């Protein structure tokens, strides 16, 4: 299983293909600019985007980073035709390893309330609902 998927940090040439994966998998949102999100995750060593490559094609991704307090994972996406092949599990393990290497001991992520499929996936990996509400505000930068 792991032999099929090579995991590495995203490179400049991977960006368009990664955004296409996000669109196909349904993790891209019209109000988020994916290219901006990728550039921001790559701006320093607090975060990155990991991609999973199979037969030269990007079929998996996970954005991972730490904010000085907790680890966070975003944009976990597997190509539609490769879902339920264990790739999601492998990408989450790679994201957790990235955090563990940096001494981060708690990781969290956001799951949209209507994404029961993803919630079951994360629960199976040991993630639990913190019974918190996520509040957000857009800042002018
Ligand atoms: C959610 C997602 C990342 C899971 O990745 P995946 O590669 O399909 O998952 P895996 O094959 O590693 O599954 C591991 C286990 O998680 C659970 N799981 C995965 N998908 C599931 C589903 N649709 N329903 C119930 N359980 C599921 C199962 O226990 C599975 O093990 P099994 O296949 O042996 O039963 C993938 O389906 C995806 O990209 N979905 C669309 C984008 C998305 O919703 N991302 C999450 C945003 S928060």
33 Cα–ligand 1 center, Å: 25
pLDDT tops 50 at residue 1: no
Task: Give Cα separations from 98 to 50, 63, 102 (angstroms).
Answer: 10, 11, 7
pLDDT digits (tens, 9 = 90+) for 62-75: 999 999 999 999 99
- 59, two tokens: 């079929």
Helices (H), 1-134: 15-25, 34-41, 87-101, 116-124
Kindly report, residue by residue over 3-13, the tens digit of the pLDDT: 689 999 999 99
> Which pLDDT score, from 0 to 100, does residue 4 have?
87
pLDDT tens string 113-130:
999 999 999 999 999 999
CA distance 61 to 91: 7
- With a Cβ cut-off of 6 Å, ligand 1 is lined by 25-27, 76-78, 83-89, 111, 115, 117-118, 120-121, 124
How high is the pLDDT of residue 46? 98
Model pLDDT for residues 9-59, shown as the tens digit of each residue:
999 999 999 999 999 999 999 999 999 999 999 999 999 999 999 999 999
d(CA 66, CA 19): 22
Gap between the Cα atoms of 25 and 33, Å rounded: 16
């Amino acid at each position: 299983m792991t032999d099929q998927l090579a995991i590495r940090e995203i490179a400049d040439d991977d960006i368009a293909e990664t955004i296409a994966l996000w669109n196909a998998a349904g993790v891209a949102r019209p109000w988020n600019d994916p290219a901006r999100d990728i550039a921001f995750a790559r701006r320093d060593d607090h975060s990155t985007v990991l991609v999973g490559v199979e037969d030269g094609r990007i079929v998996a991704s996970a954005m991972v980073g730490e904010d000085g307090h907790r680890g966070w994972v975003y944009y976990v996406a597997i190509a539609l035709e490769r879902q339920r092949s264990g790739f999601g599990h492998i990408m989450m393990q790679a994201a957790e390893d990235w955090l563990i290497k940096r001494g981060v001991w708690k990781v969290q992520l956001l799951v949209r309330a209507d994404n029961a499929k993803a919630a079951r996936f994360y629960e199976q990996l040991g993630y639990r609902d913190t019974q918190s509400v996520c509040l957000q505000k857009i800042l002018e930068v």
